[in-house]
Chains A and B, each alone.
Chain A
Amino acid sequence: MPPIDLDVSAHEHARRLRAGEYSARALAEATLARVRAQEPSLNAYITVTDDLALAQADAADARLKAGDAGPLVGIPVGVKDLLSTKGVQTTAASHMLEGFTPVIDCTVVERLNAAGAVTIGKTNLDEFAMGSSTEHSYFGPTKNPWDLTRVPGGSSGGSAATVAARGVPISIGTDTGGSIRQPASLCGILGLKTTYGRVSRFGIVAFASSLDQAGPFGRDAEDVATLLGAFAGHDPRDSTTAPVPVPDYTERFDRGFEGLRIGVPDSLLEQGVDAGVREAVEQAIATFASNGAQVKRGIELPAAKAALPVYYIIAPSEASANLARYDGVKYGFSYPDGRNAEEAMAESRGRGFGAEVKRRIMLGTYALSAGYYDAYYLKAQKVRTLIQREYAAAFADVDLILTPTSPGVAFRIGEKVDDPVAMYLNDLYTIPVNIAGLPGISIPCGMSEGLPVGLQLVGRYFEESTVLQAAHAYGSVTDWHERRPPALPGA
C-alpha cells in the first residue's frame, strides 16, 4: 500500500475511505504518527488521544463496511481542550484544571462522535480561551507552522496550527471575540464563528456566556460546511440554542458569486492595518467584484469602533462570574494550606490561574462592583444595542460585510504578551461580530511577508449558508487556501 496522502481535505478522505483505498484505522495511525512527529515543533496539542482515536477508527471501519455514507465517518479531528471529553483530561490550558477528567461529553463532541469522527487529540489554547496568541497556555505556547518563531493566533491556536500543518484536516475551536477567525487568518486556513445560539455550549468550559460559540476549522469551504452541519442545532441542555432548523450548509455552493452583495466599511480600515494586509484585502475585493458579486464601498459602522471597550467590559464581567466556580473545593487545583477557608480559596485561585486570566477576573470584578456597574457594564450593554442596530441597518442593503480578519500577520512570540492593550487590538475586526452575535468566517486571501492574510466575511443571523457560499465561490477562483507551510523538521 502506498503511504496515505494526509494533505487532502476531509471530503477527499471520506471519498477514499468509501472507495476502500484505505481504512479509517490506517488513516488514524498515519495521522497520529504525523501529529506526534510535528508536536516537538508545534506544541499544538495538550493531549494526543491515541487509544480513543484507534477505538473510534475501528468503529468507523465497521460503519464504513456496513455502507454508512456519513461524511465524517473515520475522519480525524482535533478538538480544542476547552470542550469536555468524557474520560479524557480537559484542562482549558490551565493549571487550575490540569488532570481534570470530565464525566460527560459536551454536546459538540457527542455529535461528532455520533457522526463517526475520530478524535486525534485535545488542542492547545490560551488559558480559558483568554488571549489572541496561545502564549497564555499553562502547557507552553503553540507555534505557527509558517514560522516557528511566531504565534498561531488564539485562543484556538492549537486547532488552527494542526490543520494548517496538515496534521488533521479539520478541527474544532471556540470563538468569544475572534478566537476561531483570528488564528484561522494567521495560519492560512478557514475558520467559522456561528450565529450566537447556533451551537450548543453545553459541556464547554464557560468564558463569556453571552458571546461564546464553538465552530469549525478546515482547509476549504466544503469541509467547514460539513463539519458545522454535524454539530449545529438546538440542544435542550443549552437554553440559549435557537430552535432554528439546520440547513445543508453547502446548499448555496452551486450559485457561485451569484446574488452576493458585499459591503466594505472603509472608514473602519483607515487606521492600523498593515500595508500587506490592506493590499491582499483590496485584491480580494477586486476578485469578488470581477466575478459578479456586487461590492458596495463605504458602508458605515461607526459604533463598531466602540466594540473593543464594550467587549473588554462584558467578557471579563461574565468571566469573573463564570470562573467563580473554581474554588479549590469541588474540583480543580486546590491549595492544601492556608489559615482558613477563605485564604485557601484565594491561594488556590491565585496559584491556579495564569496572569491573563487573573487580569480579566480582576477587570470583570471591578466593572461589576458597587458604584461602577452603571458606568461600565450597563453602559457597555447599551452600546451593544447600538452596534446591533448598526449591523441591522447595514444588512438592509448588503448580504455580507467584508473586512480584514486581523490588522496584521502573525506576530513574534513574546512581542505583545506583556502589553494587553496592544494584544487586544488584534481583535478589532472580529470582536464587533461577537458583540452583535452574527456569523463570520475567515478565509485565506493572500500572503504578506511570507505569512498568510485572512479576509473576514460577516453575514446576517443564521445565514451561515450565505457566508459559506461566498467562501466557496472565492476558493473556486483563487488558490490561497491551498498554500501550505514549509514541512516541519522531522515530520
Chain B
Amino acid sequence: MFSAEIVGAWIAVFLTLAIFSYLYRDNPFYKVAEHIFVGVSAGYWASMFFWTQIQPNLFGRLWPALHEGQSLGILGKVWYGIYNFFNLIYPPAFPDGGVATGHGMQLIYLIPLILGIMMLLSVFSKFSWFARWGIAYVVGMAAGLRSYGFLNSNVIGQVKGSIIPLVGDVSTGAIINGIILLIGTITGLMYFYFSKEHKGWFGKIGRIGIYFLMISFGASFGFAVMGRISLLIGRFTDLKTFGGADYHHASLWLLVAMVVLLGIWSFFNKEEKLTKGNTPK
C-alpha cells in the first residue's frame, strides 16, 4: 500500500509545505526543513565527492587493481600493505586487490593527497597554516585556467562582438541596434572610469551610462522574477501531482494538518509574534 515512491512523495510534500510556511512566519516546520536541508546537502555532497572523485580518481590511481598473477617488488608489497590495512577498515571503498577503475598506478597523485590532508588540518588551530598550501594551489590553478578563458571570450570575443558594420548588407534595425550597443558600451565603461571627476561633459556621458545600467538591472530583475515563478510552478505542479489519489492525497492531508498545527502554535506564541515581529522580509 505504501511504496517507497509514495513515502517519498509524502516527504517531498511535507518539506515543500514546511519551506512555504516561512511566508507566514518563522516556525518549527520551517526550522525542521531548513536543518534537514543543510544536513542532507552536506552529507550528499561529501558522499558524492568521495565516491566520484576521491575513491575512483585518487585511490584508483594510487592503488589500481592488480592483474591476476601480477607480482610486486618489496616496495610494491609495502605500498599494497598500506592498502590492505585500509581494506580491513572499510572494504567498500578499498576492495580486495585494489581499486578497479581502469587507471594505472600514478604516484604523482600523492601530491594532491598530501595537499588535501593539509587543507583538512585547518580544523586544528596549531596546524591551520598548512591549509594555505592547498588553497594556494587551488587558487593558482583556477586563476591560470580562467584567465585565458576570460581574456579570449570575455575581452577579445566581446570586443569583436561589439564591432558591427553600419554599411553594406545590414538591415536598418541591425544598424540602430549596433549604434545603441556602441553608445551603451562606451557610456557604461565611462561611468566606471574614476580617474577623472564626473563633471561637465564627462559627467553627462557617465549619466547616460547609468541609464543603460539601470535598464540592464531592470532586465535582470525581470528575469529573476520569471525564474522564481518558474520554480514556484514546479513545486505547485508536484504538489498537484502528489495531491492525487495515487499518492493518497498527500498534499491535501499534509496541508490541512500543517495549517491546524500552525494555528495552534500561533495561538500559544502570540507574545513572541508581537514582540519579535518575525514576519519574512
A-B interaction: no
Interface residues of B (CB under 8 A from A): none
